[in-house]
Amino acid sequence: MTIMFGAGPSFALNMNSSKTLPLAIVNKSGQVLSWQAAWNAQSGGQNWLTVDRTSGTLQISEVQTIYVTAISAQAVGAPGDFTAKLTFTPTVGGIVQPNEVVTIELHVSPGVYSDNGPKAPTLSQSRYDYNVPLGIMSQPNLQVTKNTSETNSVNWTMTSNVNWAIVSPTGGSLDGAAPSIQITTNSGGLAAGSTYTTDLVLTSTFSDPTLAASREPTSVLVPVSIVV
């Protein structure tokens, strides 16, 4: 495998909404790599999926983040469940490599969600930018505080799409004491002199299953950048 991906984005939308999610791609070929991307909706029509760019160049072990957008109004036959394939064609040393494919899922709800989901929590820091010497780990903490105007109980999860940025814990409740999330960035195995970027995704949902089923989750991106 020349490119390594995080999990393919999965969208849950109402019939007249859109959402953008990040997808991290990593060069695992051991050489400079160029890539091109194309997508093909397996169901729901071609136009419900877009990406912010369709080509790029990755240095050895470099991480790039592309942004994938789903538009429910463009899905033919909505509401329902739809899939698309995002196909990457890598080229290494002038030789085209086998295609690598990410599956994108879209669920369109027949009902209109109420006005958003939980109110976005307050973060102790909006982004992290570090110089991390080769082979060294950095372990800053992120404090997450429930929005003071949110009256409902709220759960949270945080995900990372790269193996050099690990979060712990990965979920819990925003009610009670504000959780402290440790973000471990590990430069071991990365290329010295390179910059790596990713977006951690903090998602809030209502604890009440009835509310959670009728409201969209609230997502906040936390950019992380390290220079090795």
Q: Say if residue 214's pLDDT is above 80.
A: no
CATH class of 122-227: mainly beta
Among the CATH numbers 3.30.420.40, 2.60.40.10, 3.40.220.10, 1.10.3720.10, which is that of 3-108?
A: 2.60.40.10
- How far apart, in whole angstroms, are the C-alpha atoms of residue 89 and residue 37? 6
Q: What is the pTM of this model?
A: 0.53
Q: What is the pLDDT of residues 84-135, one digit of tens each?
A: 889 999 999 889 999 988 888 888 876 544 456 888 888 888 788 888 887 7
Which whole number is the average pLDDT over 55-78?
83
Average pLDDT value over all residues in the chain? 84
Place of tokens 């295609």: 99
- Answer whether 3-108 and 122-227 agree in fold: yes
Mean pLDDT across the stretch 58-73? 85
Q: Does the structure show a pLDDT above 80 at 14?
A: no
So where are the chain's domains? 3-108, 122-227
Mention every residue, 6+ apart, whose C-beta is less than 8 A from residue 84.
39, 40, 41, 42, 44, 48, 49, 103, 104, 106
Task: Give 23: exposed, middle or buried? Use CB within 10 Å, 0-12, 13-18, 19+.
Answer: buried
C-alpha distances (whole Å) from 164 to each of 60, 114, 149, 152, 181 are 14, 37, 35, 34, 16
